[in-house]
Chains A and B, each alone.
Chain A
Amino acid sequence: MFAVETLSLSKRYGKTDALRGLNFTVNEGEIMVILGPNGSGKTTLLMILCTILKPTSGTAKVVGIDVVEDGTKVREVMGIAFQEARGFWRHKPSSILRFHASMFDIDPAKRQDLIERTMKDLELWESRDKMFMHLSGGQAKRLETAKVLIQKPKLAIFDEPTSQVDLRGKRKIWDKIRELRDQGSTIIVATNEVREAEYLADRVTILHQGQRVVCDTIPKLKDAIAGGDIVEVDFEDPVSEKLVGSLNGLGGDVSLSPEGNQLRAKVSKAEDWVPKMTSASYVAGAKIASIRITEPSLDDVFLHFTGKALADQP
Chain B
Amino acid sequence: MNRVLTLAAYNVRMLLSLRTWFVLAWALFGLQIAIYGSLMSKLVSTAVPNYLFYYAIGLMVITVFDSGAEVGRHFVEHAHEGELPYFLSLPVSRGGFLAAQAIYGVVNTMIKVLPPLIGVLWFVGDLTVQGAVFAMISMFLLGLGITGIMVSMSFIAFKSVDLYSAFLAGLSALIVRFSTVFYPLIFMPSFYSPISVFSPLTYGADLTRWVLGFDPNFLLNPILAAAVVTGVAVGTLSLSAKIVDKVIEGVKAA
Contacts and interface: CB of A to CB of B under 8 A. Distances in A.
Nearest to B85: A52
A59 B85 CA distance: 21
Interface of A: 18, 38-39, 43-44, 47, 50-54, 71-72, 75-76, 78-80, 82-84, 86-88, 90-91, 95, 99, 102-104
B91 A76 contact: yes
B90 interface: yes
Contacts of A88: 14, 83
Contact of B88 (A38, A52, A83): A52
Contacts of A87: 83
15 contacts: A43-B253, A44-B254, A47-B251, A51-B88, A52-B88, A53-B249, A75-B90, A76-B91, A80-B89, A82-B85, A86-B81, A87-B83, A99-B10, A102-B6, A103-B7
A22 to B, nearest CB: 14
B13 to A, nearest CB: 8
Contact of B251 (A52, A83, A99, A102): A52
A90 B14 contact: yes
B249 A54 contact: yes
Contact of B93 (A43, A50, A72, A95): A72
Given A86-B82, A88-B14, A103-B3, A75 B253 contact: no
B130 interface: no
Interface in B178-228: none
B92 interface: yes
A44 B86 contact: no
- Chain B interface size, as a band, is 20 to 34
Nearest to A83: B254
Interface centre among A52, A79, A99 (most CB of B within 10 A): A52
A103 B91 contact: yes
Contacts of B254: 38-39, 43-44, 83
A8 B110 CA distance: 49
Interface of B: 3, 6-7, 10, 13-14, 17-18, 81-83, 85-86, 88-94, 248-249, 251, 253-254
Contacts of B89: 50-52, 75, 78-80
A145 to B, nearest CB: 13
A82 B86 contact: yes
Contacts of A104: 91
A40 to B, nearest CB: 10
B253 A86 contact: no
Given A72-B92, A82-B86, A90-B17, A53 B6 contact: no
Nearest to A89: B81
Interface centre among B14, B18, B82, B89 (most CB of A within 10 A): B89
Nearest to A42: B254
A11 B14 CA distance: 35
Nearest to A74: B91
Nearest to A73: B91
Given A43-B253, A103-B91, 4 more contacts: A54-B249, A76-B91, A86-B82, A104-B91
Contacts of A103: 3, 6-7, 90-92
Nearest 6 CB-CB pairs, A to B? Answer: A86-B82, A76-B91, A75-B91, A47-B253, A43-B254, A72-B93
Contacts of A71: 93-94
A83 B89 CA distance: 14
A18 to B, nearest CB: 8
Nearest to B7: A103
A47 B251 CA distance: 10
Nearest to B245: A54
A47 B85 CA distance: 8
Nearest to A48: B253
A206 B6 CA distance: 39
Contacts of B17: 90
Contacts of A44: 253-254
Nearest to A90: B17
Interface centre among B3, B83, B254 (most CB of A within 10 A): B254
Contacts of B13: 95
